[in-house]
């Protein structure tokens, strides 16, 4: 569906849970979050209805996210049902990867086309520190399990943090040499737990090009990522610059939170409830959310944090 500013809105991110088995410092509070009652959250049936309603309006790409989507009970069945909706061209998942050893094959069988795995460091101690509890080996196993399950375009999301992983840029870029991996560097956003974190840690994607000058621009983008490649490499490198390069004019997304709120824009606290509605009502609510999508986000930097009004684990990235 075309919005009021001529953008074709064809992509919906659906967060299926606020809960997570990690506590990344820039995303979630250390104590985790209070588990809410089932009656406050979308049921699987409501989520499927919302996906069908969105598809009827021209959404053809859906990304399942969270919290951590793989801690959600019934996640494989939910993916299967969404993948079967007539009109879905791409069903993807963003995950921290730690449970993919268990789920990768089932997800592939259920019709998930691609997985994006979040991994901010290749160092065991640093991984434990940034996630406050995680085991690097589980995430690395998850990447291997994804290849073994037959996912051919595995993407790794790396949030750039100064003084934390800017010394690993070359190592991440090197991963793309021999395997068809796409490593995507993402600028840290001042949102949720990232607000305090951001002030000291922000590093622009320009730093990737400075640290890996061999990267050649492919003069194309893959979604919001500008694409690069090492000469002769099997994989690619993507740079996602939500801060240093505003991309609202090309935004094609809406978001649905696990508690049933539609967010027309990531950085606005404008939310419209869809929970408890019939599928027909959802069609009208989603249509309105698309038409309400703002032209541009507000100024976004360490002094002007996002007005999203939620931590990232309660939005879905």
- Give the interface with ligand SAM as residue ranges (CB under 6 A): 20, 26-27, 65-66, 68, 94-96, 118, 157, 159, 186, 188-189, 191, 194, 312-313, 316-317
Please pick, from the candidates 68, 168, 187, 271, the single residue that binds ligand SF4 as defined by CB under 6 A.
68
CA 315 to chain centre: 9
CA 156 to chain centre: 11
Residue of 108, 114, 136 whose CA lies nearest to 63? 114
CA 225/CA 205 separation, integer angstroms: 11
119 scored as a contact of ligand SF4 (CB under 6 A): no
Q: How many CB atoms lie within 10 A of CB 73?
A: 9
116 scored as a contact of ligand SF4 (CB under 6 A): no
Look up residue 8 and give its DSSP letter. Answer: B
Query: Do the beta carbons of residue 1 and residue 58 sit within 8 Å?
Result: yes
277 scored as a contact of ligand SF4 (CB under 6 A): no
**Least distance in Å: CB of 94 to ligand SF4?**
8
CA 15/CA 98 separation, integer angstroms: 18
**Least distance in Å: CB of 201 to ligand SAM?**
10
Order the strands of the 61-65 sheet from edge to edge. Answer: 216-222, 225-229, 236-240, 182-187, 155-160, 114-118, 90-95, 61-65, 11-15, 253-256, 261-263, 272-273
Query: Do the beta carbons of residue 66 and residue 316 sit within 8 Å?
Result: yes
20 scored as a contact of ligand SF4 (CB under 6 A): yes
Query: Do the beta carbons of residue 135 and residue 98 sit within 8 Å?
Result: yes
Structure tokens at 29: 């509070």
Please pick, from the candidates 10, 56, 96, 306, the single residue that binds ligand SF4 as defined by CB under 6 A.
96
**Least distance in Å: CB of 161 to ligand SF4?**
12
Those residues with Cβ within 8 angstroms of residue 122's Cβ, 6 or more apart along the chain or in another chain: 136, 168, 171, 172
Computed on alpha carbons and rounded to an integer, the radius of gyration of the chain in Å comes to 19
Chain residues 159-218 in contact with ligand SF4, contact rule CB under 6 A: none
Cβ-based nearer residue to ligand SAM, 1 or 302 = 302
Residue with tokens 């099997």: 234
Structure tokens at 108: 């592939």
Choose the contact partner of 290 out of ligand SAM, ligand SF4, none; CB within 5 to 8 A by kind.
none
Choose the contact partner of 28 out of ligand SF4, ligand SAM, none; CB within 5 to 8 A by kind.
ligand SF4
Which of these segments, 24-32, 77-85, 229-237, 293-301, binds ligand SF4 (CB under 6 A)? 24-32
Query: Do the beta carbons of residue 96 and residue 108 sit within 8 Å?
Result: no
**Least distance in Å: CB of 138 to ligand SF4?**
12
Choose the contact partner of 194 out of ligand SF4, ligand SAM, none; CB within 5 to 8 A by kind.
ligand SAM
Which of these segments, 62-70, 77-85, 162-170, 181-189, binds ligand SF4 (CB under 6 A)? 62-70
Choose the contact partner of 23 out of ligand SF4, ligand SAM, none; CB within 5 to 8 A by kind.
ligand SF4
Cβ-based nearer residue to ligand SAM, 3 or 68 = 68
Cβ-based nearer residue to ligand SAM, 20 or 48 = 20
69 scored as a contact of ligand SF4 (CB under 6 A): no
Cβ-based nearer residue to ligand SAM, 79 or 159 = 159
């Amino acid at each position: 569906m075309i919005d009021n500013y001529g953008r074709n809105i064809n992509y919906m991110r659906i967060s299926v849970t606020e809960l997570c088995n990690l506590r990344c410092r820039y995303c979630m509070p250390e104590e985790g979050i209070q588990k809410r009652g089932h009656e406050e959250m979308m049921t699987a049936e409501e989520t499927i209805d919302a996906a069908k309603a969105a598809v009827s309006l021209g959404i053809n790409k859906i990304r399942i996210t969270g919290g951590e989507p793989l801690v959600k009970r019934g996640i494989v069945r939910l993916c299967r049902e969404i993948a079967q909706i007539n009109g879905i061209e791409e069903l993807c998942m963003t995950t921290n990867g730690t449970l993919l050893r268990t789920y990768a094959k089932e997800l592939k069988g259920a019709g998930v086309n691609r997985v994006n795995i979040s991994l901010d460091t290749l160092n065991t101690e640093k991984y434990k520190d940034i996630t406050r509890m995680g085991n690097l080996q589980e995430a690395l196993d998850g990447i291997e399990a994804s290849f073994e399950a037959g996912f051919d375009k595995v993407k790794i999301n790396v949030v750039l943090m100064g003084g934390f992983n800017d010394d690993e840029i070359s190592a991440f870029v090197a991963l793309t040499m021999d395997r068809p991996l796409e490593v995507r560097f993402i600028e840290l956003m001042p949102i949720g737990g990232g607000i305090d974190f951001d002030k000291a840690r922000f590093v622009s994607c320009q730093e990737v090009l400075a640290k890996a000058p061999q990267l050649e621009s492919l003069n194309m983008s893959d979604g919001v990522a500008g694409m690069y490649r090492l000469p002769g490499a099997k994989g690619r490198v993507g740079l996602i610059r939500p801060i240093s390069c505003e991309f609202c004019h090309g935004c094609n997304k809406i978001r649905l939170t696990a508690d049933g709120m539609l967010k027309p824009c990531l950085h606005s606290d404008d939310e419209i409830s869809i929970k408890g509605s019939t599928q027909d009502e959802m069609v009208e609510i989603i249509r309105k959310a698309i038409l309400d999508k703002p032209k541009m986000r507000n100024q976004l930097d360490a002094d002007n944090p996002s007005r999203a009004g939620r931590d990232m684990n309660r939005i879905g990235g």
